[in-house]
A and B are shown apart, each in its own frame.
Chain A
């Protein structure tokens, strides 16, 4: 696994396989630290706003973070467009956010708004949509699910991460400490079809082998489960992987297809992720 995507791969495994978000499950005791880069693509020009010249870390709720991001961007725009020569915010350390004054700001370091959520327990919502441990299993040998050589006993509810394209956009600022990379990947899950392979179904919850008679229903239910967990900010964010994922969204419709091997269906859900890469990290394997 490449150094660039190794951490992202590990995060997806935490979400899909290891129960990230469920209290007590592996990967859910990590301190949540969200690092968000808000750098507009301005080539070759160091610029930005930071609080006291350094990245800011403080405790804040997720929605508060969204509001803060928008507020922060607005402040930058005001400064950049010259309406104000200086903009400063006062970040208090008690978790609350106050905006006390407008004061001089130095355009020397890039914008990096770090939002730290140090709670080890995820929100009720995140826990509700988190995928229980053991619901899915990584494809044996990380084999593509459409390879008929994959053992039938290892197919049902096996998942594979199919990496697609990366894109850095047109205006990457190499002087910035952080830049954004877009990565596309599909999470594919194997679903067995037909009663003849009933003994090989990996049943979960209230599922029974009779559910094999409605594979599409089962497949699309699985895709919804994965989509909700994969796009839950609390579950994918965190500085414990590098580069951190700052955004993960569904990238098109979920599709199903039959493949060789006898009674095998693959349900594929594409995602697009934005990564905040550290420009000082070579990300070598």
Chain B
């Protein structure tokens, strides 16, 4: 095992401890949606699979931006104002023998086509009961010990919002 792999293993163990101590209240899942036909107006996913990232990474809210024309979160959350929340998710341990994740292994880009969609579901005490569905807008796996995601509230019509 290389020094880098050993460091990742150690970092991963440390993150497990932080999670076990309850310091990571937000569960982050990669939500994969499969549609029977091409995603279009009014279509609903035939299969939805949520895969949790373990251990739970830190989730930090970065900003609330103005919503795009396409919309953002349900207006009930913010009393009529559609805002576009952005969160930083990480660190996520890069792969090492026996654990860790690559970005590709998380979102499975090879299976993404016009009938598949990858989203990020945030659930926990800081979110509504159904959680908050986001899309990945930035990913950084260039650091040796941590992968980071920036996710943004999914448009209103994305499933689960």
A residues lining the B interface (CB < 8 Å) = 134, 137-144, 147-151, 153-154, 156-158, 199-202
For residue B109, which residues in chain A have a CB less than 8 angstroms away from its CB?
Answer: 199
Main secondary structure of the interface of B (DSSP, over half): loop
Contact flag A153-B40 (CB < 8 Å), given A143-B70, A147-B69:
no
Do residues B70 and A150 form an inter-chain contact, with CB atoms below 8 A? yes
Q: Which residue of B lies closest to A158 (CB)?
A: B40
Which of A137, A151, A200, A201 has the largest number of chain B CB atoms within 10 A?
A151
* Min CB–CB distance A143 → chain B (angstroms): 5
Per the bound structure, the CA–CA distance linking A144 and B157 in Å amounts to 12
Q: Which residues of B contact A149 (CB under 8 A)?
A: 68-71, 135, 154-155
7 contacts across the A-B interface (CB closer than 8 A):
A137-B38, A143-B155, A149-B135, A151-B117, A151-B135, A153-B117, A154-B39
Whether a CB of chain A sits under 8 angstroms from the CB of B102 is no
Asked if B113 and A199 make an inter-chain contact with CB atoms under 8 angstroms apart, the answer reads: yes
Instruction: Please give me the residue from chain B that is nearest to A148 by CB atom.
Output: B68
User: Which residues of chain A have C-beta atoms less than 8 A from B112's C-beta?
Assistant: 153, 199-200
**Bound-state Cα–Cα, A156 to B115, Å:** 12
With contacts A141-B157, A156-B114 known, is A147 near B68, CB below 8 A?
A: yes
Give complex CA distance A143, B154 in Å.
13
Complex contacts, A147 vs chain B, CB 8 Å: 68-70, 155
User: A147 — nearest CB in chain B belongs to which residue?
Assistant: B70
Q: Which of B110, B116, B155 contacts A141 (CB 8 A)?
A: B155
**0/1 interface trace, chain B 33-45, chain A, CB 8 Å (1 if under):** 0000111111100
For A156, the closest partner residue in chain B by CB is B114
Q: Does B158 contact A (CB under 8 A)?
A: yes
Find chain B residues with CB under 8 A from A200 CB.
112-114
Known: A138-B41, A140-B43, A143-B70. 9 other contacts (CB 8 A): A140-B41, A141-B71, A141-B156, A147-B70, A149-B154, A153-B113, A153-B115, A157-B38, A202-B38
Closest to B69 in A: A147
B87-127: which residues lie under 8 A (CB-CB) from chain A? 109-110, 112-117
Measured CB to CB, the closest approach of chain A to B152, in angstroms, equals 8
| Whole-angstrom CA separation of A158 from B70 in the bound complex | 15
Q: Point out the residues of chain B lying under 8 angstroms from A154, CB to CB.
A: 38-40, 114, 117
In the bound complex, CA of A134 to CA of B109 (Å): 24
B38 proximity list for chain A (CB < 8 A): 134, 137, 154, 157, 202
> Which residue of chain A has its CB nearest to the CB of B115?
A153
Residues in B neighbouring A138, C-beta threshold 8 A: 40-42
